[in-house]
Amino acid sequence: MGRRADLLDATNRCARALSSSLEIKQAFAAFIRELRGLVPFDRTAILLVEDGHLRVFATAGEAAETVFPPGSVNPIAGSVMTEVLAGQAIYREDMNERRFAEEDDFVALGLRSRVLAPLLTGPETIGALSLVRREPAGFSSDEIELLSLLGRLAGSAVQNIRAYEAERTTAEELRRLSALRADFVSLVSHELRSPMASVIGSARTLQLRWRELTPEQRESFLALIAHETSRLAALIGDVLDTSRIEAGTFSYSFEDVDLAELVRDSTAAAERTQDEVPVRAVVREPLPRMRGDRDRLHQLLINLIDNAVKYSKPGEEVLVEAQSANGRLVIEVCDRGPGIPPQHQKVIFEKFGRIQTGETAKPGTGLGLFIARSIAEAHGGSLTVRSHPEQDGATFTLTLPPGVD
């Protein structure tokens, strides 16, 4: 009875160690120190059931950072967890007699016996405590009983740490979005201020010096006003479109669309607005028609081409290539700009995402690619980017569903 009391006290110390901090690294380190004195092991892990999968919450011991490392996610089907979910400890005396998918990896490390004790919060099994030893049949019945008790005691502590992690992740994401929104407001204010200053300055000059200016100078000021007001209209349009996408009120009107004609028209329109970067369309016929919103698809292509032109050097060609491949319509927009680092290739499609390439930031709101991807997805398609650090340029690939004829 005295020995069982000592073991029960040691089990409680393990559970309390896991409750000593809401930071997983600190709590798990304290837990490991107590656990080694209670039930020696060659490898241990805490596994959690999340969204129908098994996530490695924490691990220590043999190959902890290489085989099923912390954060890795694996399917429950085929694993020993299918039996642990019933709420009972599972003892594998010798994993050489393979029964579950993960056992090959353990045997390859020279680990033979394994105990999994369910982590319980009330009647619910939220995961398992796993201990592994090199020796076959390495655990006694008393040790298995202790681990089962520890699983019941530690379940609540693990749940608290998981809840804290989820809350912290949510808080960090909210802070990130808040910072992006602040940057966005600052950026939009700057983008509005610049064309408005040009419009006001040009209009004031025309008002005060109309008689002094030559006809060519007047035309130049009027052209500048037209250009800057177009910029303002485009900026406001992007902001409104983003708001409509978020609210689910971004409207579409589907009809049969000649995609080959649309690609040529969009390329010609993009080339007419500037004369420094040549834009060339290559349409590989036959290109079937498709169901879509022609105006929205035109907006998508213009956003992609304008983005490619913005980051291209004068004289460097932007290529727009359209073809039918594997029953899908594929349009690629290729530029020879500075490229996009791998860590930023997801950011550029985010609502407030914007990166700096080269020595100076390019003007713009950073909303164009977010709107473009939203339009692509509304048509049942996708928009991706491909860019390699060792090569200049980026390729945006728009993939759309099969045509209608």
pLDDT truncated to tens, each residue of the chain (405 aa)?
A: 555 555 566 666 666 666 666 676 777 777 777 777 778 899 988 888 888 888 888 888 999 889 999 889 988 988 988 898 888 889 999 999 888 989 999 999 999 999 998 888 878 888 888 999 999 999 988 888 888 888 777 777 777 777 777 787 788 877 877 776 776 666 667 667 778 888 899 899 998 888 888 989 989 989 889 888 887 888 888 888 888 887 888 889 999 999 999 999 999 988 888 888 999 999 988 888 888 999 999 999 999 998 899 888 888 999 999 998 888 899 999 998 888 888 888 888 887 666 655 544 565 667 888 899 999 999 999 999 988 766 678 999 999 987 654
The pLDDT value recorded for residue 233 is 84
The pLDDT value recorded for residue 5 is 54
The pLDDT value recorded for residue 405 is 47
3-class DSSP assignment, residue 121: strand
The pLDDT value recorded for residue 3 is 54
Fill in the amino acid letter for 113: S
Residue listed under structure tokens 């837990």: 31
Backbone angles phi, psi at 333, to 5 degrees: -115, 115
The pLDDT value recorded for residue 18 is 64
Could you tell me which residues come within 8 angstroms of residue 309 by beta carbon, excluding any fewer than 6 positions away? 270, 274, 277, 279, 318, 335
The pLDDT value recorded for residue 21 is 64
Alpha carbons 192 and 47: distance in angstroms, whole number: 52
Helix 2-18, helix 24-38: angle, nearest 10: 160
**Mode of pairing for the β-strands spanning 382-386 and 395-400:** antiparallel
The pLDDT value recorded for residue 368 is 85
Its pTM stands at: 0.53
The pLDDT value recorded for residue 16 is 67
The pLDDT value recorded for residue 170 is 81
Alpha carbons 404 and 388: distance in angstroms, whole number: 35
The pLDDT value recorded for residue 42 is 92
Could you tell me which residues come within 8 angstroms of residue 136 by beta carbon, excluding any fewer than 6 positions away? 93, 94, 96, 112, 113
Fill in the amino acid letter for 21: S
Longest distance between any two alpha carbons in the chain, whole Å:
109
Q: In Å, how far are 75, 128, 129 from 48, measured between CA atoms?
A: 12, 7, 9
The pLDDT value recorded for residue 365 is 66
Strand order in the sheet with 279-283: 279-283, 318-325, 328-334, 395-400, 382-386
Burial class for 186, CB neighbours closer than 10 Å (0-12, 13-18, 19+): exposed
